[in-house]
């Protein structure tokens, strides 16, 4: 019933910017938390940014100051603005949502979410 569809991925040069979008359906935005994860080939999926019901964002240390997570409740859409992109940012980016209570320490962990999108590819060239 719940669907999360990512878009906005593509190929950019190092130092460039990209904005990812996640359109949600069958899910009430403000009932839980949402996040962006990414996974590069041969690596584990890692949490990039998360936003809770209070609107307070959380970021992985590797993207602080460069990425911004935001949501538009009216459009039922989650965004990830990525600036100053680096080659190490290249990965498949996934949108996630969680509507069950979870410890604060799970904000950037896969176990904190129960709905997932199919992903959108981001490539960064030097």
pLDDT of residue 121: 98
pLDDT of residue 47: 98
Burial class (CB in 10 A: 0-12, 13-18, 19+), 22: buried
The series of mean pLDDT values per 10 residues for the chain, 126 residues long, is 96 98 88 94 97 92 98 92 98 96 94 97 96
Closest C-alpha among 58, 53, 55 to residue 31: 53
pLDDT of residue 73: 85
d(CA 113, CA 21): 18
β pairing state of 57-59 and 46-51? antiparallel
């Amino acid at each position: 019933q719940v669907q999360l569809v990512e878009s906005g991925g593509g190929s950019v040069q190092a130092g460039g910017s990209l904005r990812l979008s996640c359109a949600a359906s069958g899910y009430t935005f403000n009932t839980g938390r949402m996040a962006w994860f990414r996974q590069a080939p041969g690596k584990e999926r890692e949490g990039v940014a998360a936003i809770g019901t209070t609107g307070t964002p959380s970021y992985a240390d590797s993207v602080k100051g460069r990425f911004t997570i935001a949501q538009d409740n009216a459009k039922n859409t989650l965004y990830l603005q990525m600036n100053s992109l680096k080659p190490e940012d290249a990965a498949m980016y996934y949108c996630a949502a969680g509507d069950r209570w979870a410890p604060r320490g799970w904000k950037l962990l896969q176990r904190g979410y129960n709905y997932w999108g199919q992903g959108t590819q981001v490539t960064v060239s030097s």
